[in-house]
Amino acid sequence: MKGRKRHIATDVLGLLLVVIITAASVQDSAGGKQVLDHLADEHPSVSKTWVDGGYNTSVISHGAQRDIEVDVVKRPTSKGFHVLPRRWVVERTLGWLMQHRRLVRDYEALPRRSRTMTLWAMTNIMSRSLAGESTQTWRNDPRKMGIIA
């Protein structure tokens, strides 16, 4: 997203635990430390996290101070597509969030408003999942589905 970064922490199902919105100029390690602080305060039972290679050793040591083990998931050296352990869960969550129009573009003026829209989107995702509904897409033709005669 132009001008903003989303730093998120999810559980193993991909449900949001922490969302931090920062300026794009903020380094990943600074955002990662903020996520670890919120994660330790709001979810004290979390003891291990997996992060991508953008987070450096300062995040690992900061996690150790907060009693959270931080494992960096490195990309393989071979070319081609590879599913990276545990990192795909966060990528899937970001994909779910991008299905919401307000999150695709940066409409919000304030980072806290952008965070709120992210939480609203996740609430929508969770409620649809609980209700057994799938997300409507532009590919669904109501006439072929029998909704409109």
Q: How confident is the model at residue 139 (pLDDT cuts 50, 70, 90)?
A: low
Alpha carbon separation from 137 to 87, 101, 122, 134 (Å, rounded): 26, 12, 17, 9
Tokens at 119, concatenated:
């939480």
- 139: burial class by Cβ within 10 Å (0-12, 13-18, 19+)? exposed
- The reported pLDDT for the residue numbered 10 is 93
pLDDT value at 101 more than 90:
no
Could you tell me the pLDDT band of residue 135, with boundaries at 50, 70 and 90?
low
Q: At 40, is the pLDDT very low, low, confident or very high (cuts 50, 70, 90)?
A: very high
Query: Which pLDDT score is estimated for 148?
Result: 58
Q: Answer yes or no: are the C-beta atoms of 86 and 67 closer than 8 Å.
A: no
Q: State pTM to two decimals.
A: 0.78
Distances in whole angstroms, Cα of residue 91 to Cα of each of 14, 75, 98, 140, 144:
9, 14, 11, 25, 32
**Among 9, 85, 83, 14, which residue's Cα sits nearest to residue 47?**
9
Query: What domains can you pick out in the chain, each with its CATH number?
Result: 4-77+86-131 (3.30.420)
Distances (CA, A) of 24 to 28, 54, 72, 80: 9, 14, 21, 28
Q: What DSSP state is assigned to residue 18? A: E
Q: Would you say residue 20 has pLDDT above 80?
A: yes
Is 80 exceeded by the pLDDT of residue 134? Answer: no
